[in-house]
Amino acid sequence: MPRSYGNRPRPVQAPWARHALRAAVLILLTLTAGPIVAGTGEAAARTVKIVALGDSLTAGYGLPGSDSFPVKLEKALRAKGIDVAIENAGVSGDTASGGLARLDWSVPDGTDAVIVELGANDALRGIDPKLTRQALESILLRLEARGIAVLLAGMRAPPNMGADYTAAFDAIFPELAAAHDVVYVPFFLDGVAADRTLNQADGIHPTAAGVDVIVARLLPQVEELIRRISARNP
């Protein structure tokens, strides 16, 4: 016999009382069904899941984990009332081809969007821009096939690579963004590159303050990315 604090006769509940109780429960469930994603104008039944797929600029090379780009971006979005979780899938030294090779396990099922930040190492190593383009386009196509929204972060070749290489490399990102209709950021390091006060001693990787600049400049595009997700799942 189940434990109880005494066996008392159960009161008889009037039919109208049962209906009123049922209505109250339905109202409570409706009110607690899910948070509102601020800034999107849409209701979300769950946390928006984003994967930041990139290289050391995403991974947070030389920085504590709390100062990495994905962590700071998530914090900035949550400060605006947007319920989001951003997974750091940055691997230092990764190229566009490397990102493609690990795409399936880096972007698990249930992911709503991916921020693609790849290509910097391709340019530094002088990899043929055709190969970089093919790898990035394959990433976009595979994410598109999975119904995952994308923000493509552009990169620029260093000037010492020569005019022809720079022209071919720099054209990759805007052309792919237009062809696949993804949210686009022309230059991930805009406002940070070549600024000694915002970069570590190597002159390549941003400091924590540099990451703050990147997050602030990318925030409008990331909000647009979230609006696209909400439009797909009204």
Q: What is the set of active-site residues?
A: 56, 202, 205
* Type of residue found at 162: G
Question: Is 88 within 8 Å of 49 (Cβ atoms)?
Answer: no
Helix, strand, or coil (residue 127): coil
Residue 139 CB coordination number (10 Å): 23
Phi, psi of 22 (to 5 degrees): -60, -40
Instruction: Report helix, strand or coil for 169.
Output: helix
Question: Which residue matches tokens 């979780």?
Answer: 85
Count of all residues that appear for the chain in the document: 234
Nearest one of 135, 146, 142, 145 to 172, comparing CA atoms: 135
